[in-house]
Structure 1
Amino acid sequence: MTIAQLKSLLYLPANRASAVAKARTLACDAVILDLEDAVQPDAKDEARTAAVAAAHDGGWEPRALFLRINAADTAWHEDDLAAARTGSFAGVVAPKIDTAAQAQAIVAQIGGRPLLAMIETPRGVLNAAAIAAVPGVAGLVAGLADLAKALNTRPDPQRRPLIYAMSAIVLAARAADVACFDGVCTDVRNIASLRAEAAQARMLGFDGKTLIHPGQVDPCNEIFAPSAEERADAQALIAAYEAALAQGRGVATWNGQLVEVLHVAQARAMLARA
């Protein structure tokens, strides 16, 4: 599974042994062992050691295992980078990436692993296209809680104050041909809220969503996975186009809609993702 095919990315505190063990049984596409927000300052060293051990112990397949490091302006950053290089991680998640130069500096220090850059400040949103274009950046992750705080927005279940920033992140990712993932739903016991956010994120073009509770995994997978109806429609659209080609026509109609090669490419991409 490529990074762009990930639907559900679950954050876990790296020093929570029981949660890490349980994660190996969950249906999430990726696990992000967190050294940052989920770990208190006096437990950073313990969490880092535990994360490296968990990576070496294995058992994560088919899940991808990422490490979220602390920001570059913290005392833990350099040690986190060293841990990322020594552990068997599929990639690194870096918080509060504001500029392409910051992304480049981290890429240079993580031993060729792909970087998921978190966009969670106004400056990061404005520089998202340049960040996404950095070689080695494999995706952008929306950090919407910090962004909402920085923007001084009011709470809104529909996330309307953040739509511009979310779309900017998607646009930047698509321009650079990298993945993009929605931020977390902090109302962890409200599955309806999680489902609404995931549906909105998919509508906006995100590839998947970051999560903070195991109960969010299955609903997220359901929302981001093409439905049986969508798969059937895609197959029918492709068949209509191929039939038109066999008759010497470059376009077709299906279900009352004009079908061109770009629609076929979208349908095939969706089936590949499914």
Structure 2
Amino acid sequence: MGLGLDTPWGGDDLSALSDIAPDAVLAPKVSSPGVLHDLRRRLPESVAVWAMIETCSAILALDRIVGAAAEVGLTTLVAGTNDLAKEMHCRPGNERGPLLAALSAIVCAGRSAGLTILDGVFNHTDDPSRFEQECRQGRAWGYDGKTLIHPGQIATANEIFGPSDEETAAASRIVEAFASPDVMARGVIRIDGQMVERLHLEDAQRTLAYRDAIRAAGAEG
């Protein structure tokens, strides 16, 4: 759920959490760690904190925001592309070129703290081909997923941000290869004629974790 403490309804929303028990709370307009510390003090310990990065001030304070992740239980950064474009007075267009520097900064900051990073919403619910293009763009830039505003966007987002059969098979080969007793202590091996390092093993493990998470979500649904 989303929660803005600086709104007239913030206090009531917080009170309602005791009955709702959400997995996470998304804080909008996070421009400094202070907002997150305040939210953490007023949330149940079990509730994770997500931060919406949608102001110019937030982009400039990213290092301090992610630096507070462990203290405040911050697990996720969400790019607030609509508000960010408004603050920047820019016109993103189909390729979102004017937002690229900010979107890349969010990825770098999130990765430095081991956080999940979600791309912003796509506003045109009647343009599925352009939505697909934007999902592919977000994944190419390093985002883990995309925030959605319509049920019709779910399947496309899962398909694009989830690992393909080919990626899953390649990841499985890497994990199995490094698990072999004769290479467990080695940093570099060859698989299918290519050099594979332990950094590729981490990527492979992440790919399989995504696959398992998507399967689990499908089973629950």
TM-score category by the smaller chain? 0.7 to 0.9
Q: Where does residue 228 of structure 1 map in the other structure?
A: 165
Give % identity: 39
Which of 207, 212, 228 pairs up with 2:144? 207
Q: Distance in 2 between matches of 1:229 and 1:257?
A: 16
2:218 corresponds in structure 1 to none
Counterpart of 2:50 (choices 116, 126, 132) is 116
Query: Equivalent of 2:22, from 68, 89, 92?
Result: 89
Q: How has the CA–CA distance of structure 1 residues 248 and 271 changed in structure 2, closer, same or farther, with 3 Å as cutoff?
A: closer
Of 104, 111, 118, which aligns to 1:174?
111
1:254 maps to 2:188: no
CA apart distance, 1:240: 4.3
Secondary structure class of the residue paired with 1:89: coil
2:200 aligned partner, one-letter code: H
- Bigger RCO (CA 8 Å, 6+ sep): 1
What are the equivalent positions in structure 2 for 1:117-136 lying under 5 Å apart?
Answer: 117-134=51-68, 135=71, 136=73
**Displacement of 1:251 after TM fit?**
2.1
Partner of 1:147: 84
* TM-score in terms of structure 1 length: 0.70
Given residue 128 of structure 2, which amino acid in structure 1 is its aligned partner?
A: I
Shift of 1:245: 3.4
Alpha carbons 2:92, 2:99 under 8 Å: kept: no
Q: In structure 2, what is the Cα distance between the partners aligned to 1:259 and 1:242? A: 13
Task: State the secondary structure of the residue aligned to 1:211.
Answer: coil
Contact 1:93 1:117 (C-alpha < 8 Å) held by counterparts: yes
Residue correspondence of structure 1 range 58-69 to structure 2 within 5 A = 67-69=1-3
Code of the aligned partner of 2:40: V
Task: Work out the CA distance in 1 between the residues paired with 2:56 and 2:182.
Answer: 48
Question: Which has the higher mean CA deviation after the structures are superposed, 248-257 or 226-235?
Answer: 248-257
Cα distance change on mapping 1:179 and 1:162 into 2, 3 Å: same
The one-character-per-residue Cα deviations of 1:125-181 (angstroms, maximum 9, x if unpaired) are 111232223221111111000000100111411111111111111111111112111
Please tell me the residue identity of whatever aligns with 1:101: G
**Counterpart residue type for residue 262 of structure 1:** L
Moved over 6 A (4+): none
Q: State the 1:80 CA deviation.
A: 1.7
Distance in 2 (alpha carbons) for counterparts of 1:117 and 1:153: 22
Q: For this pair of structures, how many residues does the alignment match?
A: 207
2:39 corresponds to which residue?
A: 106
Structure-2 residue corresponding to 1:159: 96
State the partner residue of 1:263. 200
Contact 1:107 1:137 in 2 (8 A): no
| Contact 2:56-2:87 within 8 A present in 1 as well | yes
**Distance in 2 (alpha carbons) for counterparts of 1:132 and 1:235:** 31
Where does the alignment leave 5 or more consecutive residues of structure 1 unmatched? 1-66
Instruction: Determine if contact 1:240/1:253 at 8 Å carries over to the other structure.
Output: no
CA distance in 1, matches of 2:61, 2:81: 16
Task: Work out the CA distance in 1 between the residues paired with 2:81 and 2:184.
Answer: 50
SS at match of 2:78: strand
Q: Secondary structure at the match of 1:110?
A: coil
Indicate whether 1:216 and 2:153 are aligned.
yes
Unpaired runs of 5+ in structure 2?
A: 212-221
> What's 1:78 paired with?
11
Question: TM-score scaled to structure 2, two decimals?
Answer: 0.86
Asked whether the 8 Å contact 2:120–2:146 carries over to 1, the reply is yes
RMSD: 2.0
